[in-house]
């Protein structure tokens, strides 16, 4: 699976709750306004939860529930609010934990960062610059519940960048594995999948969770955007991406979901699907054929730097290390002869244009995923240790993402998972006292 390309960034873009819900004002236009200072003011002094040294007030909880109901087109009744309250409170608790983590690291959210985030919402929703706060009040939404959520998201992005991102290293073999999988599935249909995951915490809540899934399905059929409900209600790691799983091939998800995808078309939404994770609602945003061809027919113009080596593993490793060091900055075939001469390597460096399928297995594996100007790792065999460089390449499979795009996608996938684990650890270490 390789999600949509976002080149040049290791972090996913800032996630803003209201972008989907404010796609035009129709989602909010019919909501009854609740002016600040009315019912909310009566709850200001009550505590909903204590989170270490911070509190979540009942005012905070009520204001966030108001925002959620108004922006997601859910029915504004007591049953809906009671059903949402525990999940919204958990989200507010998590935001306090995220802000505390940022403060411990000395990470602040500047006024400029907040202004840019608010301006992004205004721009994407065709609001006049500087009118976000006014627009929220006009719809009966307390502006601080939006700005504080934005602040927590920006702060958490900084925490993840400082604490989690440095631990992620994507190896060349992982990128090769993705390319090999794409080639192996050439001609198959892949799907852009969105999901809502509702976990089942205990067997006695099975019926309740399924009923919640049915209610969400009713809201989807009534026109509520899938991304809005996924963002607010999903328990899955993809909730932070508004439920976007990315492009998937058959066999990459659970068999139960695969069975739905087998006959699905873009726009299709499943009923509740039970898997070991819980209940899923799955939407197909798009589908496409994996383009492909015969990788063995790729033509490559190669140069090599080859050094003879005795049948001694330690000597071979030492020569391999020398080749790695000498070619670390090599990015042009024009420089190959000079490096070979400096190393005392075989003067025959130009191997000409060859078909990948005609190469020996070790050489074929080394070059099949190399781009033009890239150097292979050292290859031992035939009495020599050599590195190969691709000077030209033709007849390649069409539609493949480049290696940087794959690396970015793998980083994002791993970053999402590790960030959720980090938040889980912080939550487990925190003192949390829920009072409502």
pLDDT in tens, 164-189: 999 999 988 888 888 777 777 766 78
Residue among 118, 125, 116 nearest 19 (CA): 125
**DSSP structure string for 169-206:** ---HHHHHHHHHHHHHTTT-EEEEEEEEEE---SGGGH
Tell me the per-residue pLDDT of 406-436, one tens digit each, with 9 for 90 and over.
888 788 778 877 887 898 899 889 999 998 8
CA distance linking residue 305 with residue 141, whole number of Å: 67
What whole-number distance in Å separates Cα of residue 367 and Cα of residue 355? Answer: 11
In this structure, which long-range contacts are made by residues 365-373, counting pairs with CB atoms below 8 Å and at least 24 apart in sequence? Answer: 367/300, 367/302, 368/295, 368/298, 369/175, 369/176, 369/179, 369/180, 369/403, 370/300, 371/402, 371/403, 373/331, 373/332, 373/333
Greater model confidence, 30 or 354: 354
Q: What is the rounded distance in angstroms from the CA atom of residue 364 to the CA atom of residue 303? A: 14
pLDDT above 60: residue 42: no
Rounded to an integer, what distance in angstroms lies between the CA atom of residue 1 and that of residue 307?
A: 39
The predicted-structure confidence for 62-78, as pLDDT tens digits, reads as follows: 999 988 888 776 778 88
358, two tokens: 């005609």
Q: What is the pLDDT of residue 18?
A: 39
The closest of 162, 43, 9 to 98, measured between CA atoms, is 162
Q: How confident is the model at residue 337 (pLDDT cuts 50, 70, 90)?
A: very high
The rounded distance, in Å, linking the Cα atoms of 129 and 147 is 16
pLDDT at 293: 58
Percent of the chain with pLDDT over 90: 33
pTM over 0.85: no
Residue 328 vs residues 308, 331, 332, 334, 391: alpha-carbon distances, Å: 20, 9, 12, 15, 16
Say how far apart CA 70 and CA 204 lie, in whole Å: 32
Q: How confident is the model at residue 112 (pLDDT cuts 50, 70, 90)?
A: very high
Q: Which long-range contacts (CB under 8 A, 24 or more apart) does 358-367 make?
A: 363/388, 364/296, 367/300, 367/302
SS3 content of the chain, % helix, strand, coil (to 5): 50, 15, 35
Instruction: State the Cα–Cα distance between residues 350 and 326, nearest whole angstrom.
Output: 18
pLDDT band at residue 267, thresholds of 50, 70 and 90? very high
Model confidence at 8, pLDDT cuts 50, 70, 90, reads very low
| Three state DSSP letters for 259-319 | HHHCCCCCCCECCCEEECCEEEEEEEEEEEECCCCCHHHCEEEEEEEEEECCCCHHHHHHH
Q: Which residues of 287-299 are buried (b: 16+ CB within 10 A; e: fewer)?
A: beebebbebeebe
Spatial separation of the C-alpha atoms in residues 291 and 287, rounded to whole Å:
12
Collapsed DSSP state (helix, strand, coil) of residue 327: coil
Residues 231-248 have a mean pLDDT of: 81
What local confidence, expressed as pLDDT, does residue 44 receive?
Answer: 55
Q: Which single residue is written with the structure tokens 């031992």?
A: 380
Angstrom distance (rounded) from CA 93 to CA 52: 10
């Amino acid at each position: 699976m390789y999600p949509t390309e976002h080149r040049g960034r290791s972090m996913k873009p800032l996630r803003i709750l209201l972008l989907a819900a404010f796609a035009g004002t129709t989602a909010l236009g019919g909501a009854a306004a609740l002016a600040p200072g009315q019912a909310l003011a009566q709850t200001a002094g009550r505590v909903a939860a204590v989170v270490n040294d911070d509190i979540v007030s009942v005012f905070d909880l009520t204001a966030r529930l108001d925002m959620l109901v108004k922006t997601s087109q859910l029915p504004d009744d007591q049953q809906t609010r009671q059903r949402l309250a525990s999940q919204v409170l958990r989200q507010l608790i998590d935001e306090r934990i995220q802000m505390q983590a940022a403060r411990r690291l000395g990470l602040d959210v500047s006024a400029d960062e907040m202004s840019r985030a608010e301006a992004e919402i205004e721009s994407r929703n065709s609001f006049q610059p500087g009118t976000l706060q006014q627009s929220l009040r006009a719809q009966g939404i307390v502006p601080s519940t939006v700005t504080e959520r934005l602040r927590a998201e920006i702060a958490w992005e900084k925490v993840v960048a400082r604490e989690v991102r440095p631990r992620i290293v994507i190896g060349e073999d992982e990128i090769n594995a993705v390319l090999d999988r794409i080639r192996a599935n050439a001609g198959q249909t892949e799907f852009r999948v969105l999901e809502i995951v509702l976990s089942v915490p205990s067997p006695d809540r099975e019926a309740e969770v399924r009923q919640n899934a049915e209610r969400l399905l009713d809201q989807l059929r009534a026109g509520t955007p899938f991304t809005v409900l996924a963002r607010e209600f999903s328990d899955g790691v993809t909730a932070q991406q508004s439920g976007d799983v990315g492009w998937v091939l058959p066999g990459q998800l659970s068999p139960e979901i695969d069975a739905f995808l087998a006959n699905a078309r873009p726009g299709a939404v499943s009923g509740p699907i039970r898997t070991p994770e819980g209940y899923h609602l799955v939407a197909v945003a798009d589908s496409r054929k994996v383009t492909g061809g015969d990788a063995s027919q790729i033509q490559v113009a190669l140069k090599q730097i080859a050094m003879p080596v005795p049948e001694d593993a330690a000597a071979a490793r030492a020569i391999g290390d020398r080749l790695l060091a000498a070619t670390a900055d090599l990015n042009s075939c024009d420089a190959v002869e000079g490096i070979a001469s400096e190393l005392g390597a075989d003067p025959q460096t130009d191997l000409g244009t060859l078909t990948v399928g005609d190469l020996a297995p070790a050489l074929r594996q080394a070059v099949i995923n190399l781009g033009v100007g890239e150097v292979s790792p050292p290859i031992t065999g035939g009495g020599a240790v050599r590195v190969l460089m691709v000077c030209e390449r033709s007849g390649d499979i069409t539609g493949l993402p480049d290696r940087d795009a794959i690396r970015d996608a793998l980083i994002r996938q791993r970053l999402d998972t590790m960030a959720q684990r980090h938040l889980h650890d912080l939550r487990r270490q925190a003192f949390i006292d829920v009072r409502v």
